[in-house]
Amino acid sequence: MFWTNDAPSYKHPALEVKQTPFSGRTYHSNCALTPGSCILDIATPYADTIYKHFRTEVCAECWRYDGGRRTFLTMRDLGENAGLFFCNDQCKASWLGREGEELVELLSGLETARRRKQQGKDKQTDAQAILKLEDIEQYIVGAWDVARRDTMRVKLVRQWKTLQLDDFEADIARYVLIALYHYARELDSQGLDAPGSCCSSSHVRFGMASWDDFSALQSGEQQQISKFPELVNDHVHIYQVLHSRFGTLLPPDCVSPTRKRLKELITIENVRKALSVDPGNSFGIWEVPITEESEGLGFGVYPIPSFFNHNCSPNVRKERDGRRLRFVTTRDVALGEEVCISYGHVEAMGLEQRRKELMDGWFFCCQCSQCMTEGGSTSPTRFVPVSLHICPRAHNVLSGLQRLAARCVPGT
């Protein structure tokens, strides 16, 4: 996971961001650490989504999953319209206390765009045409330029209100809508109309992160679309639905300043940024305890932990407790030492299997200290810039469900 700016706005006393020659800006210890030290504790993601397939089986707040059983989800009154199911009153109150009733209304509005009867898509012709382009950026920019011109055509935008999203598109649209709504709430708490302003601790944050932190995460757009070119059509489709439903005229009775801000924030630039951040910076919401058979229930983007690089012999492990992520040292860490996690739980594998797993799933040739010790370097840099790590999304692609899994199982 990589950033384009200098450092996150949140500062942790035990962590320092340093520039390294082989792996960019990464977390290093700011003091000697003992095993079992919790060096980062993030209560919630900046934005997340639970996949439709699991939505009636997963608590929207604590992410509890019971092997497909649903009886523990006793609070279902927000399920049919907003797609929110909860274990109990406490989980529901916790979610509403953080997110608010207004987001319930927005998610309910988005769900009306979900296609009730899923249909297969034949995008082979488009995909073949895109793959012939040497400059994938040219294709991406061209597609968004068309969308930008169409946005100025009022009658066409009205027609977008009738567009329907397949389950994948609707699930990703929920993630984008949540991210932009959080951005609107952040600006509303600051009394600001533009990004890049100074934030204080009293301003609204989600997962201790601001929109500036979220949007500074490295884009994986080109790498993702070069491998799965049909996604550019999905991304434009998501923008068209969000813009036509939430970025045009407000309801006559709308008095919410946050809702008014959201209208201005649903732009091509912001939607495209949220979509490009997802592939390489998302943490999977996995069934726990994690095994080879664990289900991928959804994903969340946590900007602050995104400075952790991968190492096949990590000195930090990630622990999930509901929507909370904790990062705990597994051994003594010296002052100034880089602190790393494992992206794919590959520690028990041999060198070649590890490298194949990481290349297949995260699109880089690992040259961490463990790999260098075992097999030497295959490149002058630690990461081959094929793509950002796209996590188990790509693992399932290679298992067979290429289009769906490529888009539907992100995270680490």
Do 298 and 52 contact (CB within 8 A), yes or no? no
pLDDT of the residue at 267: 98
Which H or E element spans position 227? helix 221-227
Q: 138-172 burial by CB neighbour count: b if 16+ within 10 A, else e?
A: ebbeebbeebeeebeeeeebeebeeeebbbbbbbb
Averaged pLDDT of the chain: 83
Predicted structure pTM score: 0.86
State yes or no: pLDDT of 192 exceeds 70. no
Q: Which residue has the higher pLDDT, 228 or 269?
A: 269
Of all residues in the chain, the percent with pLDDT exceeding 70 is 80
Q: Which two tokens stand for residue 243?
A: 């813009």
CA nearest to 258, candidates 327, 170, 192, 171:
192
CB 270 within 8 A of CB 180: yes
Token pair of 182, please? 């959080």
Q: How many CB atoms lie within 10 A of CB 248?
A: 15
Confidence band of 397 (pLDDT split at 50, 70, 90): very low
Tens of pLDDT, residues 33-85: 999 999 999 999 999 999 999 999 999 999 999 999 999 999 999 999 999 99
Q: Which residues pair with 30 in a beta bridge?
A: none
CB neighbours (10 Å) of residue 398? 13
* Structure confidence at residue 121 (pLDDT): 55
- 205 vs 4, higher pLDDT: 205
Q: Tell me the per-residue pLDDT of 344-389, one tens digit each, with 9 for 90 and over.
A: 778 888 998 998 888 776 667 888 888 988 876 554 333 333 233 3
pLDDT attached to residue 343: 82
Whether the CB-CB separation of 371 and 22 falls below 8 Å is answered with: no
Would you say 283 and 302 are in contact if contact means Cβ atoms under 8 Å apart? yes
The CA distance from 404 to 65, in Å, is 21
* pLDDT for res 193: 57
CA–CA gap between residue 285 and residue 62 (Å, rounded): 11
Q: If DSSP codes are grouped into helix, strand and coil, which group holds residue 349?
A: coil
Question: Which two three-digit tokens encode residue 397?
Answer: 């692609």
Q: Of 327, 383, 342, 390, nearest to 37 (Cα)?
A: 327
Tell how far CA 82 is from the center of its chain. Answer: 20
Residue 279 in this model has a pLDDT that exceeds 80: no
Give the Å distances, CA to CA, from 221 to 32, 217, 388: 38, 12, 9
Length of the chain: 412
**Distance (Å, rounded) from C-alpha 384 to C-alpha 363?**
8
Separation between Cα atoms, residue 259 and residue 66, nearest integer Å: 35
Report pLDDT digits (tens) over 151-172.
999 999 999 999 999 999 999 9
The dihedral over CA atoms of 269, 274, 279, 285, expressed in degrees to the nearest 10, equals -170
Q: Are 301 and 283 in contact (CB under 8 A)?
A: yes
CB 124 within 8 Å of CB 217 = no
Task: Give per-residue pLDDT as tens, 238-271.
Answer: 999 999 999 998 888 888 999 999 999 999 999 9
Using a 10 angstrom Cβ sphere, with 0-12 exposed, 13-18 middle and 19 or more buried, the burial of residue 69 is exposed
pLDDT at 290 (0 to 100):
82
* Residue from 66, 43, 38, 45 nearest 318 by CA: 38
